[in-house]
Chains A and B, each alone.
Chain A
Amino acid sequence: MKHLAEEELVDHYYGEAAAPASAEHHLRECSLCAEAYAALRQDFASIKFPAVPARAASHGEQVWQSLRKSLPVYKKQKRHRMNFNLLQGLGYATAYVVLIAAVFFAGRQWEHRRYPNIQSAGTDRPAQPVIPIIVVVLGDHFDRSERLLVELNHANDASAVMPAKAEAQDLLSANRLYRESASRAGDRQLTAALDRLERVLVEIVNEPEGSSPAQLARLQKEMNIDGLLFEVRVLRSRIPDRQGSAVRTKGVSI
């Protein structure tokens, strides 16, 4: 009989179990898990939060009065002007793109007429795979992540956490974009790896300043930084392969 883990018990308590009926059934059958669940419920029952102080009906009005003087008025004309500027900018950008495309096409035509051999040689060769942009960008991202994890993994005191926090904050926003792009492109392995990396980055960012060596050791252990570091290295080392298989897998583009 497979017992329910603490995380599964917590999920069950909050009504987010993957299979609530099966968990319920197991709790009826297994006295050990039932006992653990009862202890969890008891712990939760002992956690008391202070009652929210009542606010007067005029609370909203008071808040508004304290704010209204500092708020500027939205100007409709300004919005139209902005939209007009935006449209004008888009128009110029489109014109530039069309112009560049026309020059490029004309150049290609001229080159093909002048050097027909190059064209025939080119057609014999298989088409070059397009290297997805994210491969290059992710290489850099993984490099930076690896450096951060290595520093953190070898840190012996809390002084290493502060610089790591700033770097982690920087990496975190980029990591979210990559994860979403990878998810949209259906690259599950990459999405999962970036998801795990994000969790560690969030933890580093939220680690209180002046953490003790014990807290640092706990972070290293709980987030399994060793394992993640290995995963990042594997992914990074696979980047040339990913380039090679770009045509098959389509890769991910931002």
Chain B
Amino acid sequence: MEENDYSIVRAVLAGDKEAYGALVARHSQSVFRVAFRITGNEADAEEVVQDAFLRGYQRLESFESRSQFGTWIYRIAVNCALNMMTKRKVETTHQIAEDADPAQHQVQIADSAAGPERLLMSREIESMQIAAMQSLTATEQTAFVLRHVEDRSTEEIAAALCIAPNAAKQAVFRAVQKLRRSLAPLRTNA
């Protein structure tokens, strides 16, 4: 029978460092999944996985037995991913400010037609969606991914982001509004 997470945590705290490996093996896939969905990048997601399990180990003494280890490490991972997104957005802003050429950042929508043009259009849609996601703040983007893709409730999002439920709900709604505004041209071209 598999040892439960809490008994593994107790073993780690009692000095059995190697036992933590079992927790990492058990939860790394789910942590990677949410990290990838938030960051949208494989390398960043791997970095978030390592950072989350490292922080988890360092804070293991604060883990409370009444919560699930999976839920606890998931929240840590969301926070790590949010921090990374904030950092990335700051870097992107600097880059855009350095070589600002508005013409480069314009997105053009191709006419609907068959063959290569349709392929081109799907690429344009993809780049438009990426631009729309980049227009969101890190909190809005994370809240939206947790709500829309991870299917988390407002309370769960609030707990993961350490904000009030109202603020979490507002972040999701603002993200939806911004995305709809950015993707409006698709509707008219459809």
Q: Does A1 contact B (CB under 8 A)?
A: no
Stretch at the interface among A45-53, A226-234, A239-247: A45-53
- C-beta contact mask, B81-104 vs A, less than 8 Å → 1, else 0? 000001001100110010000000
Residue of A whose beta carbon sits closest to that of B36? A52
- C-beta contact mask, A159-181 vs B, less than 8 Å → 1, else 0? 00000000000000000100100
What A residues does B149 contact at CB under 8 A?
49
A42 to B14, CA, bound (A): 54
What A residues does B17 contact at CB under 8 A?
68, 71-74
Number of A-B pairs, beta carbon distance below 8 Å: 131
CB of B25 within 8 A of CB of A46, answer no
Residue of B whose beta carbon sits closest to that of A14? B147
What A residues does B172 contact at CB under 8 A?
10, 14
Q: Does B78 contact A (CB under 8 A)?
A: no
A195 to B36, CA, bound (A): 31
What A residues does B24 contact at CB under 8 A?
60, 63-64, 67
Name B's A-contacting residues (CB within 8 A).
Answer: 12-15, 17-18, 20-21, 24-29, 32-33, 36-37, 40, 42, 49-50, 53-54, 57, 60-61, 86, 89-90, 93-94, 97, 125-126, 129, 137-140, 145, 147-149, 153-154, 162-164, 166-167, 170-174, 176-177, 179-180, 183, 186-187
Name A's B-contacting residues (CB within 8 A).
Answer: 6-7, 10, 14, 16, 39-40, 42-44, 46-50, 52-53, 55, 59-61, 63-64, 66-68, 70-76, 79, 176, 179, 195, 198-199, 202-203, 206-210, 222
